[in-house]
Amino acid sequence: MNSLPLDRALLWLAALLYLAGFATGCVTLVQSRQSPGSRLVLNFLLATGLLLQTVGLHIRGMAVGGCPLGNKFEIIQFVAWSGIVLYFVVGPAFRVSLLGLFTAGYAASLAFLSLIIPAWDATRGEHLFGKNPWIELHAALAVFSYGAFGLLALTSIMHLLQNWSLKHKRLNNLFWFLPSVVQLDQINFRLLLAGETLLTVSLAVGAAWWLRDIASVNGPKLAATITVWLAYGIALGLRWRHRLVSARFAWVCLVMFALALLALGTLNTSRPHEVILTPDR
């Protein structure tokens, strides 16, 4: 095709809007003018980007007859999309003024990374889940849980920055806009619980079907998902028993998300019966 496909054009625009939101938030932070108006502009940019990204992913989903999770490009886009969705769902409840700024930078980074690597979108699967709604729900929930884990990584970074500011007595603009380390530790715990719950439901839905058809189980995908689930589950248990708190808890959550992103590479392994399409087919 000589022109940019509509779905990718919309995803590029969404990424640019996320980047614009991040730039706007940075300017506001530097100028120390955090206000309802500035947050409104940031949220408008993120909401518009989310709308365009949703339409772009919907177009791809219609083309392949299912949730667009057929290659690494679509999976990374879906992770970025779920992070923005969860920001609008849980952001107001946590009342973290800088969460929008961090989420914008996170979504823009993932979106641009997926867009600038053509190999990630070279082929994609059609009817990836064999028209099975339960397996499709399992996959969507598993990847959506990464949205919660992504926000957890962002609030963990906030915790570490706040902790560093206190230790080194660098009480700058960032310090005053961030919640206390105690509040951030509680937020991290809630996000970890939300992400682990989503992933648990995902595995339960998948298991209900796999027990009927063991041959349909994809070993690498299942092993990667269970590993991520166990790692976050252990961290949740240690946090619940107050054996992993504060900065150590934040570091663990940050490192685990980096490793979980690496595990996503196994989630786009094609099955033998899948129809493989080029993006412009």
pLDDT tens string 233-242 = 999 999 999 9
How far apart, in whole angstroms, are the C-alpha atoms of residue 149 and residue 154?
9
**pLDDT greater than 60 at residue 205:** yes
What percent of the chain has a predicted confidence (pLDDT) above 70?
A: 79
Q: 126 - beta bridge partners?
A: 275
- Chain segment 63-120, per-residue pLDDT in tens: 887 888 888 999 999 999 999 999 998 877 776 768 888 999 999 999 999 999 999 9
**Confidence (pLDDT) at 130:** 61
Confidence of residue 174 (pLDDT cuts 50, 70, 90): low
113 or 136, which is more confident? 113
- Token pair of 244 as six digits: 């992993």
Task: Note every long-range contact of 191-194, with CB atoms under 8 Å and residues 24 or more positions apart, other chains counting.
Answer: 191/90, 191/148, 191/149, 191/151, 191/152, 191/155, 192/148, 192/149, 192/152, 192/232, 192/235, 192/236, 192/239, 192/253, 193/236, 194/90, 194/148
- Chain segment 51-66, per-residue pLDDT in tens: 999 999 999 988 887 8
Confidence of residue 281 (pLDDT cuts 50, 70, 90): very low
Predicted TM-score (pTM) of the model is: 0.85
Average pLDDT, the chain: 84
Confidence of residue 1 (pLDDT cuts 50, 70, 90): very low
How far apart, in whole angstroms, are the C-alpha atoms of residue 32 and residue 232?
36
Give me the residue spans of the domains in the chain: 6-277
- Chain segment 239-252, per-residue pLDDT in tens: 999 999 889 999 99
Q: Find the mean pLDDT for residues 43-48.
A: 96
**Confidence (pLDDT) at 131:** 67
**pLDDT greater than 90 at residue 273:** no
Instruction: Kindly give the interhelix angle for 36-64 and 72-94, rounded to the nearest 10 degrees.
Output: 150
